[in-house]
Chain A
Amino acid sequence: MPGPFGNLFIEMSWMVAFQVSILGFIGGILSGFIGSGGAFFMTPGMMNLGVQGPVAVASNITHKFGKAMVGSKKHGEMGNVDKKLSFFMLITAFAGIRLAVVVMKLLFEGGGDSHSTDRGAGANLYISLVFALVLSLVAISMLSDIIKSKSSNESGPSTKIVDFLSRLRLYPLIYFPVADVKVSLWVIMVCGLATGYLAGTIGVGGFIGVPAMIYVFGVPAAVAAGSELYLAMYMGAFGALNYAFEGMVDIRLTLLLYAGSLLGIYIGAYGTKVVKEIVIRMVTSVIILICVISRAIAIPIYLQQLGYIDLDPAYNDYLNSASKGLLYVAGISGGLMIMFFVSKAYFQRRKIEASLSRGLVKTA
């Protein structure tokens, strides 16, 4: 679907605009419910609509900038932001983003294209591979944590890495007062670099930043979410500046994402108040896994375009449709599941409130 500027930006029809807004809405619900991410659904969703991978990432990271600013302000009011921790991570996160932008630019200007020209497919393949690899690791570790916590009757994330690093004591150790943890500067720098690089590559920094803070630094979950949003605000700003400098931001996509996500985020956030933590983690990991499968299905298209595999181009449409369908299945079923839990909890609450005001109040 080439647009006014060759194959760089897509033609914006009413149907495409509607679909991007729906992607934003579902991404917003997932983002509000899970506490981080949303990009794992929106970025591949836009790619399935024909948006070039780097443009999808650039537009999404720009969208994330404004969204994180609003979110971190709310978390800040609740005292959930450790600014010191965010700033330390930011130092190397900037380097990670810059590195990701340079790599992306090189790949984009390299070979292959989804429309038989010479640009795009290399970058698309790279984004899809990183996406599939990183998010399958996240989803599998989340699922195994749920299974382990069920069998050992102990809720909460594993602290093996935190324990290991606290024994290792890699000096200098820095104390973060809001999170109330001491972490090695070296560990922070590595995690910051990885978070920035992944945010710059697939637009999914939160999926690395939040688990890193919880599993590696031992930060409480609420502070991890708040601090990551604060970090994401600066990373988003830096990513937006970098990608805009390279001319890859499609401001129309950013605007359409806002139209959906800023509404969806409220509904998702309400869900976290009424749904059990283990259910939230279970739903999240299943949705991520389906998104990973959806992206993995699209990989042969890019391999074929780059000439790495011999596949009839006629199959590309089928594969693309399957990938797109699966992504929508993940997003819509995830959104519906969240809505189901939210309404179930709401009606259950109403029932209990009614019984309280009738019979349970005992007077002396």
Chain B
Amino acid sequence: MQIICISRGSYGFSSTLSEQLAEKLGYACVSRESLTDKATDYGIPVGKIEIDILKNKPITEERSINIDLFKSFVTSELCSMAQKKGVVYHGRAGHLVLPGLPNVLRVRAIDDPENRIKTAMSKLNLDRKKAKQYIEQTDDDIRRWVRILYKEDWENPSLYDLTVNAYHMSAQSVSHFLLQVAKLPEFQPTPSSNQTISDLILASKCRLAIGNHDQTRQAKVTLKAEKGHVSVSYLPRQAMEAKAIPQILESVPGVSSFVCTVASTNILLLGETFDSKAEHMNHLIDIAEKWNAAVEIVQLSSDVQKEDEIQASAPMDSTGEPDGGILEENEEAPKALASDQGLTETMNRLIEVGRAGCSHTSHGGVGGLVKDISKNVEYSLIVVGDMFSAKGVAKQRLKRDLVSMMTDKFSCPVLSAEDLKSRYLFGKKQMIGLVTSAFFSAMIYLVIFGFQKPIIKFVSAGQLGGTMSQKIASAVVVAICVPVIALVIGGFYHNFLKMIRLE
């Protein structure tokens, strides 16, 4: 069913707006506050999380686990409701609560600041100055909440489908306008969005089950689910606690298969098609083994172009309104299943070597792919594999553009699969670097220790009655030479450790 998420600040008009919209659509209306109460009853210390964030407390592992459980609880509740009937959710980070789920209408509702102040004055019995300060402080707290929980900027307009401003419009008019927008094909549920909802529910339930178990309560895990298959990775230092994870997953209804991987970090592999025997896969596995990393795979759906075309020319129903092209997508499903063969083989190979992370499919084109990748998972490397195969000679350029786009979004290194060896594995280039840096390091030591007296005499001009110009010269030479020396010796060790596979 359809999901509409409304992001709001405090004392705005969006509660009224959400209720009116839900009533018009015949959907359930859910507020953040009601979900928070439910989560607290469930045993998640939401109040404590809020206070910690308000007090600017550092996010420790324990707090981060509680945040993770809260997010899983919200996802599970909203998605479970959405399976039964449409949902209008309103809350401070409404647009971010269901990441990776396409076809959700994400709205930002802003109100006239004066109205908000007046509402706060009357509800909290405050004078104007204090009410204004209260609103500003609350907005600051929301910004911080969104940054910590979702690593996003609350006010970033690109995260919303549209912004509605109540300055000149009533809640009634806005809800009427949103009613029309909600009918657009882009916001209709599709088989793939329904599958994503099922996956999100399963992943959330597994996460909550792990968080509820005595032995694994403190385990920090990365978890994904796709079509009944669940992938979990956890830190090596939690290996003992995490032994119970397989047993827990077996007890969760809907889990058909799972893989658990112990990993210090994550590597993300993107691709349209996968070949488990490709040379770059060998390189990737080599790197994953060296770094003790789990390899997460995101497959860009090969039917994406067709989906785009379907959406653009979505057929109209008898009322003249588009229906979202749901039937066409169903017909494409068998083809998509066939293209999963390479992915399955690649996952099996990763499982064999104990480096399998999560895997899922992205259906939103390249733009959707970039949006789908969560900023909440800490990746050490993003690798762009086989992409744009149908684009012929433009393939390399498009791949390069994607690498640039990903580099702008993520702080970790992003590179093409073909560059893995030259960048991270020991090859000819590294051997040349090793020999060169070894040579220069040896020369540096030979020169400094072979000519100790004149060199020390030069650098200690300040203590040996040198002139001002001699003192300045010695200071400048030390300041220039030392970082160069560090880089040369550091380069030697870097390449040497790479050669003996100890990075």
Contacts and interface: CB of A to CB of B under 8 A. Distances in A.
B236 A274 contact: yes
Interface in A69-109: 69-70, 77-79
A66 B483 contact: yes
A356 B62 CA distance: 26
B444 A156 contact: no
Given A70-B487, A348-B236, A251 B478 contact: yes
Contacts of A259: 445, 489
Interface string B456-487: 11011111101000011011111101110111
A250 B463 CA distance: 12
Contacts of B147: 180
Nearest to B486: A66
B308 interface: no
Interface residues of B, number: 73
A345 B237 contact: yes
A117 interface: no
A339 interface: no
Contacts of B292: 273, 349
A67 B482 CA distance: 10
Interface residues of A, number: 69
B368 interface: no
Nearest to B466: A247
A13 to B, nearest CB: 11
A251 B444 CA distance: 11
Contacts of B471: 245-247
Interface in A1-60: 4-5, 8-9, 12, 17
Interface stretch (B86-94, B254-262, B273-281): B254-262
Contacts of B61: 155-156, 277
B237 A274 contact: yes
B412 A247 contact: no
B490 interface: yes
B58 interface: yes
Interface in B407-461: 411-413, 444-445, 448-449, 452-453, 455-457, 459-461
A266 B503 contact: yes
Given A241-B479, A254-B482, A12 B258 contact: no
Contact of B486 (A70, A181, A220, A245): A70
A67 B486 contact: yes
Given A154-B62, A166-B56, A77 B412 contact: yes
Nearest to A81: B411
B143 to A, nearest CB: 9
A250 B456 contact: yes
A246 B493 contact: no
Given A159-B56, A244-B474, A262 B413 contact: no
A5 B237 contact: no
A364 interface: yes
A251 B237 contact: no
Contact of B472 (A9, A245, A255): A245
Contacts of B490: 66, 70, 258, 262
Contact of A240 (B353, B455, B482, B493): B482
Contacts of A206: none
A245 B351 contact: no
A144 interface: no
Contact of B411 (A79, A155, A218, A242): A79
Contacts of B264: 273-274
Given A159-B56, A159-B57, A250-B456, A65 B483 contact: yes
A244 B459 contact: yes
Contact of B460 (A70, A248, A258, A262): A248
A79 B412 CA distance: 8
B203 to A, nearest CB: 17
Interface string B245-278: 0100010000011111110110000000000000
A360 B56 contact: no
B318 interface: no
Interface in B91-106: none
A66 B485 contact: yes
Interface in A208-262: 214, 218-221, 237, 240-242, 244-252, 254-255, 258-259, 262
A251 B456 contact: yes
Contacts of A360: 246, 259-260
Contacts of B489: 258-259, 262
Interface string A332-364: 000000000000010011001110110011111
B464 A5 contact: yes
Given A9-B460, A154-B62, A156-B63, A4 B478 contact: no
15 contacts: A4-B453, A5-B463, A65-B482, A66-B490, A155-B60, A240-B479, A241-B479, A244-B475, A247-B464, A251-B478, A273-B292, A353-B262, A356-B259, A362-B258, A364-B256
Given A240-B479, A356-B261, A361-B258, 12 more contacts: A4-B453, A69-B483, A69-B486, A77-B412, A220-B59, A237-B483, A245-B471, A249-B478, A259-B489, A273-B264, A348-B240, A361-B259
Interface of A: 4-5, 8-9, 12, 17, 62-63, 65-67, 69-70, 77-79, 154-157, 159, 162-163, 166, 180-181, 214, 218-221, 237, 240-242, 244-252, 254-255, 258-259, 262-263, 266, 273-277, 345, 348-349, 352-354, 356-357, 360-364
